[in-house]
Amino acid sequence: MKFTILFVLFFINSLIYAQNIQYARALVDTLCSSYFDGRGYYNNGENRAAEFIKSEYKKIGLQSVNNNYFQHFKFATSSIKGDLLLQLENTILQPGIDYLIAPSSPSYSKKSKVIHLKKSELIDIEIFKETIPLLRNKFVVIDQSLVKNESNKVKNLVREIIYFLKFSPDIELNGVIELIEGKLTFSASQLKAMRPHIIILKNKVSHLLKKIILKTENQFDTNYQSQNIIGYIEGEIKDKYIYITGHYDHLGRMGNSVYFPGANDNASGIAMLLNLAKEFSSEKKPKYTLVFICFGSEEIGLVGSKYYTENPLLPLKNIQFLINLDILGTGDDGIQVVNGKVHKKDFDYLVNTNNSKNLLKQVKIRGKACNSDHCFFSEKGVPSFFIYTLGGIAHYHNIYDKSETLPLTEYEDLFILLKYFIVNKE
Ligand SMILES: [Zn+2]
CA distances from 118 to 115, 133, 148, 197, 316 (A): 10, 15, 14, 18, 53
pLDDT of residue 18: 79
Q: Are 272 and 328 in contact (CB under 8 A)?
A: yes
Nearest to 95 by CA among 255, 220, 210: 255
Bin 186: left if φ > 0, else alpha if -120 < ψ < 50, else beta.
beta
What percent of the chain shows pLDDT beyond 70? 96
Residue 86 pairs in a beta bridge with 214
Rg (CA), the chain: 24
Nearest to 177 by CA among 91, 122, 116: 116
Rounded Cα distance, 327 and 240, in Å: 27
Secondary structure of 154-177 in HEC code, one letter for each residue: HHHHHHHHHHHHHHCCCCCCCEEE
For residue 272, report the distance from its CA to the centre of ligand 1, in Å: 14
Nearest to 322 by CA among 415, 233, 385: 385
Nearest to 27 by CA among 9, 53, 45: 53
For the stretch 176-202, pLDDT in tens is 999 999 999 999 999 999 999 999 999
Q: Is 90 exceeded by the pLDDT of residue 283?
A: no
For residue 387, report the distance from its CA to the centre of ligand 1, in Å: 11
**CB neighbours of 2 closer than 8 A, spacing ≥ 6?**
none
One-letter amino acid identity for 151? S
For residue 209, report the distance from its CA to the centre of ligand 1, in Å: 36
Q: Is 80 exceeded by the pLDDT of residue 16?
A: no
Rounded Cα distance, 52 and 167, in Å: 37
Mean pLDDT for the stretch of residues 115-144: 96
What percent of the chain shows pLDDT beyond 90? 94
CA angle 377, 240, 238 (to 5 degrees): 140
pLDDT of residue 63: 98
Mean pLDDT for the stretch of residues 299-318: 98
For residue 269, report the distance from its CA to the centre of ligand 1, in Å: 9
Strand ranges inside 117-203, DSSP E: 138-143, 175-180, 197-201
Q: Is 80 exceeded by the pLDDT of residue 12?
A: no
pLDDT of residue 1: 47
Mean pLDDT for the stretch of residues 4-30: 77
pLDDT of residue 109: 97
pLDDT of residue 7: 58
For residue 164, report the distance from its CA to the centre of ligand 1, in Å: 28
Q: Is 90 exceeded by the pLDDT of residue 140?
A: yes
Q: Are strands 335-338 and 288-295 parallel, antiparallel or unpaired?
A: unpaired
For residue 126, report the distance from its CA to the centre of ligand 1, in Å: 39
Q: What is the CATH number of domain 78-219?
A: 3.50.30.30
Mean pLDDT for the stretch of residues 86-106: 97
For the stretch 18-73, pLDDT in tens is 789 999 999 999 999 999 999 999 899 999 999 999 999 999 999 999 999 999 99
For residue 265, report the distance from its CA to the centre of ligand 1, in Å: 4
For the stretch 309-360, pLDDT in tens is 999 999 999 999 999 999 999 999 999 999 999 999 999 999 999 999 999 9
Nearest to 217 by CA among 137, 106, 131: 106
Q: Is 60 exceeded by the pLDDT of residue 220?
A: yes
For residue 33, report the distance from its CA to the centre of ligand 1, in Å: 17
For residue 266, report the distance from its CA to the centre of ligand 1, in Å: 5
For residue 301, report the distance from its CA to the centre of ligand 1, in Å: 11
Nearest to 310 by CA among 218, 386, 379: 379
For residue 149, report the distance from its CA to the centre of ligand 1, in Å: 29
For residue 100, report the distance from its CA to the centre of ligand 1, in Å: 19
For residue 267, report the distance from its CA to the centre of ligand 1, in Å: 9
Domain with CATH 3.40.630.10 in the chain: 2-77+222-424
Q: Are 381 and 356 in contact (CB under 8 A)?
A: no
pLDDT of residue 13: 66
Domain with CATH 3.50.30.30 in the chain: 78-219
Mean pLDDT for the stretch of residues 273-288: 96
Distance of CA 278 to the CA centre of its chain: 24
Rounded Cα distance, 345 and 109, in Å: 58
Q: What pTM value is reported for the model?
A: 0.94
Per DSSP, helices labelled H in 32-82 are 45-60
pLDDT of residue 4: 57
Per DSSP, helices labelled H in 191-312 are 268-281, 303-310
Rounded Cα distance, 47 and 2, in Å: 52
Q: What is the CATH number of domain 2-77+222-424?
A: 3.40.630.10
For residue 260, report the distance from its CA to the centre of ligand 1, in Å: 12
Q: Is 60 exceeded by the pLDDT of residue 5?
A: no
Q: Is 80 exceeded by the pLDDT of residue 255?
A: yes
For residue 299, report the distance from its CA to the centre of ligand 1, in Å: 6
